Amino acid sequence: MLYALLLVASAFAAVLPMVAFLSVVWWLDRYDREPIWLVALTFLWGGLIATLVSLVGNTSAHLVLTAVLGAQLAGQVTPVVVAPLVEEPAKALVLFLTSRSRHFDNMTDGFVYGAAAGFGFGMTENFLYFSTAAQTAAYDPLQGMIAWGGTVLARTFYSAVMHATTTACFGAVVGLVRFRPGWAQALVLPFGLALSMGLHALWNGLLTADGLIAAPVSLTALNFALFTGIFAGMFVLFQVVLLWERAILRRELRAEVIEHGTLPESHIEPLTSWRQRAFSTFVAGAVDQAAYGKAAVTLALRRHQVRIAKGRRKTLLQVDLDRLRREVRSLLGA
């Protein structure tokens, strides 16, 4: 009976925190929030496709390593070497798909979609670990509860967040080079993927080494402390990228006012302030402020993308930019 209850609790403990964490990340993207349906699909990719691919890849590699190295050494090599090499590309693949969408504009979006894939992966992996820990309760209720509770806390606030952090790192890199020439993408994207795999290997490596290496402090405790700092650093970096996005919006909207007179200069400040867009009215009553704000911000982002894009991509972006100008003028004309 206790095992059944813990199994149900495992499902809730696996799903609800990941959805809550992702909701916070989505909300923090305050200037141009991504469509919920696309964020949800990315989350499901991490939770279903990426975990399935990783399960097959990790298991297959582990069987091969066991035959070559023996069970003990294979058990140490698989989480440190194989898991990062398999799981990070499996999570990251969806970013190449979402980056083809017109909704994927910059590093901020890469953070959001990367976190979505990572939290989805963490959700499914957490459920597997939680349900395994709950099995102990079938023959030792007290130890089972302790083991289950410790697993839930550690994996919810660390392992799953690690998965979101590593994929968000790569997503930010994808966003950085999204509209840049192919040579820049070929140069930078492997570095981003290597960074995500390196962070993953560091997390797994310290956990695996604890108990195998004589150290003056617990390597697991050191791991938790180290990654607390990494998580905090990623949060700060996300805020810096948001400030950069705001600066781009202000620059491009000001240029749009001067060059084309598409919108009033007095709208620049409220359009680049999420508080004013959410809690004040700065347009005439007949104008759909939400639609206007979305179109104006997208217009500013398209202007920036046209500046850095080359060739056919630049031409297509220019077509969309002209469409957005017409849309903004039409909304204001209403």
Residues 181-195 have pLDDT tens digits of 888 899 999 999 999
User: Please, what is the angle between helix 2-28 and helix 160-177, to 10°?
Assistant: 30
User: Distance between CA atoms of 55 and 73, rounded to whole angstroms?
Assistant: 19
Element (H, E) at 170: helix 160-177
User: If pLDDT is split at 50, 70 and 90, which confidence band does 284 have?
Assistant: confident
If you compute the radius of gyration of the chain from its CA atoms, what whole number of angstroms results? Answer: 23
Give this prediction's pTM.
Answer: 0.94
Contact 65, 78 (CB under 8 A): yes
Is the pLDDT at 51 greater than 70? The verdict is: yes
Q: Is the pLDDT of residue 10 over 70?
A: yes
Average of per-residue pLDDT across 156-169: 98
Residue 300 has pLDDT above 90, yes or no: yes
Q: In angstroms, rounded to a whole number, what is the distance separating the alpha carbons of residues 160 and 287?
A: 43
pLDDT band at 286 (very low <50, low <70, confident <90, very high): confident
Q: What percent of the chain has pLDDT over 90?
A: 85
Q: Give the pLDDT mean for 64-79.
A: 94
Quick one: how many helices (H) and strands (E) in the chain?
14, 0
The lowest-confidence range among 82-86, 153-157, 309-313, 315-319 is 309-313
Binned at pLDDT 50, 70 and 90, residue 143 comes out as: confident
Q: Tell whether the model's pLDDT for residue 169 goes beyond 80.
A: yes
In the block, tokens 């007949």 appear at: 286
- Look at 286 and 118; give whichever has higher pLDDT: 118
- Amino acid letter, residue 17: P
Long-range contacts of 328-333 (CB under 8 A, 24+ apart): 328/262, 328/263, 328/292, 328/295, 328/296, 328/299, 329/262, 331/287, 331/288, 331/291, 331/292, 331/295, 332/263, 332/283, 332/287, 332/292
The values of phi and psi at residue 210, to 5°, are -60, 120
CB atoms < 10 A from the CB of 258, how many?
A: 9
Cβ atoms of residues 181 and 144 within 8 Å? no
- Above 90 in pLDDT, residue 104? yes
Q: What is the mean pLDDT of the chain?
A: 94
> Where do the structural domains in the chain lie, given as residue ranges?
2-209, 247-333
Give pLDDT, residue 274. 85
Amino acid making up residue 210:
D
pLDDT at 334 exceeding the cut of 70: no
pLDDT at 196: 98
Q: How far apart are CA 334 and CA 328, in angstroms?
A: 10
**How confident is residue 127, by pLDDT bands cut at 50, 70 and 90?**
very high
| pLDDT over 80 at 139, yes or no | no
By the 8 A CB rule, do 77 and 69 touch? Answer: yes
What confidence tier does 72 reach under pLDDT thresholds 50, 70, 90?
A: very high
Kindly tell me the burial class for residue 220, based on how many C-beta atoms sit within 10 Å of its own C-beta (0-12, 13-18, 19 or more).
Answer: middle
- Residue 141 confidence (pLDDT): 82
